Amino acid sequence: MTTIHFAGKAYVCEPRQTLLDCLQTQGAMVPSGCRSGICQSCLMRAQEGAVPSLAQQGLSPHRAAQGYLLACCCIPEGEMTVTLPDTQGLTCAATVLQRVPLNGDICALRLHPDSPLDYRAGQYLRLYHQADTSRCYSLASVPTVDDYLEFHIRRIPGGRVSGWVHDDLQPGDRVMIGEAVGDCVYDEQLCERTLLLVGTGSGLAPLYGIVRDALSQQHTGPIWLYHGSFVAQGLYLQPELRALAARFPNFHYVPCVDRESVESQAWSARVMTALDAVMADHRSFSGYRVYLCGHPDMVNAARLKIFVGGASMSDILADPFLPSGPS
């Protein structure tokens, strides 16, 4: 049992209880979303006390050194004093350049940040609708290739932030964005390994960035990209991906749809889920570097099958697109 000091009050923290649970169950207002270290809604900063390393796993070394932590992953080891971060210092303004539809419910949003954003292809950041309403979106752009930031945003029925992006944002509008985080990135040290990328829906966004990053760095091993969609109309960036596959013999693009249609035939899409296609095409995943992005159910199922199929846990990088909160 230990004591947590927050906003002028002391809270009792039970053994093995997370900082987030400790504060929220005792009535403190701390934002949260995924509760599993992904969405960064629960970002806090330690002013005093030791910060467990697990609580800083998803943060940049720079932020970790400043005492930032994720409350949902923080099991205090002793007394701590924590604060909510001042988002002003963590955000940057950007101008909307373009918003273009990619398919019926996904649009590409291009931004120009006021100061250059330090990021790697495949990372994600928070886009702010209002100071207290933000969501995570993955970068589809590549810093060394594109001179804008690009996101692929799917409209969620009744969604506050995705609805605002689709209905309200116009070129010239000013928005706030957070820092780029996440470890779904290309590692140039692994240039000979097989890369396997599996995404559903707008989960293609980070994968599109990672693939282009890998190709621009002369990745020599095979690269397999599976994009799954319920219907053929949900597939997007097909011409671009087919052109890349034609140009780079080591890059294989496999579109997959759950339901057959005239379009799916015309585009020779596989009629099965992306994960089923992956399992049919690969006998063992030993030595593979794997990236999984999009629907959380797909990500979890794929992680299990691909791990049991021989990939090392540390080689499976995943961004489940969990609801980000706070709502």
Ligand X SMILES: Cc1cc2nc3c(=O)[nH]c(=O)nc-3n(C[C@H](O)[C@H](O)[C@H](O)COP(=O)(O)OP(=O)(O)OC[C@H]3O[C@@H](n4cnc5c(N)ncnc54)[C@H](O)[C@@H]3O)c2cc1C
The residues of the shown chain that bind other proteins, judged by CB under 8 A, are 15-16, 36-37, 54, 300, 303-304, 307-308, 312-313, 318
Under a CB-based contact definition with an 8 Å cutoff, are residues 294 and 226 in contact? Answer: no
Length of the chain: 327
Q: 25 or 144, CB closer to ligand FES?
A: 25
By beta-carbon proximity to ligand FES, the closer residue of 55 and 254 is 55
Q: Measured between alpha carbons, how far is 48 from 188 in angstroms, rounded to an integer?
A: 38
Q: Which stretch binds ligand FES (CB under 6 A): 39-47, 176-184, 267-275, 312-320?
A: 39-47
Residue 142 sits in the site that holds ligand FES (CB under 6 A): no
The one segment of 68-76, 136-144, 255-263, 270-278 that binds ligand X by CB under 6 A: 136-144
Using CB atoms, what's the residue nearest to ligand FES? 72
Two tokens at 47?
A: 């002013």
Of 125, 127, 199, 132, which Cα lies nearest the Cα of 165? 127
Sequence letter at residue 168:
D
154 touches which of ligand X, ligand FES, other proteins, none (CB within 5 to 8 A by kind)? ligand X
Please report whether residue 167 would count as binding ligand X according to CB under 6 A.
no
- Residue 90 CA to residue 74 CA, distance in Å, equals 21
**CB under 5 to 8 A by kind: which of ligand FES, ligand X, other proteins, none does 32 bind?**
ligand FES
**In contact, 11 and 76? CB cutoff 8 Å:** no
Tokens 């070394």, located at residue: 61
Instruction: Give the three-class secondary structure for 305.
Output: helix
Distances (CA, A) of 203 to 130, 207, 217, 322: 24, 7, 22, 11
- x/- track of binding to ligand FES for residues 9-38 (CB under 6 A): -----------------------xxxx-xx
Stretch that binds ligand X, among 114-122, 145-153, 238-246, 247-255 (CB under 6 A): 145-153
243: partner contacted, choices other proteins, ligand X, ligand FES, none (Cβ within 5-8 A by kind): none
Looking at residues 28 to 47 of the shown chain, list those that interact with ligand X (rule: CB under 6 A): 34, 38-39
Question: Binding string, 70-89, against ligand FES, x = CB under 6 A?
Answer: x-x-----------------
As a three-state string, the secondary structure of 124-165 is: EEEEEEECCEEEEEEECCCCCCCCCEEEEEECCCCCHHHHHH
Pairing of strands 9-13, 2-6: antiparallel
Half-sphere exposure of 239 (CA within 13 A, CB side): 2
Stretch of residues binding ligand X (CB under 6 A), selected from 11-19, 59-67, 80-88, 135-143 = 135-143
Where do contacts with ligand X occur on this chain (CB under 6 A)? 34, 38-39, 124, 135-138, 151-154, 156, 158-163, 202, 205, 319, 321-324, 327
Which residues lie near ligand FES (CB under 6 A)? Answer: 32-35, 37-42, 70, 72
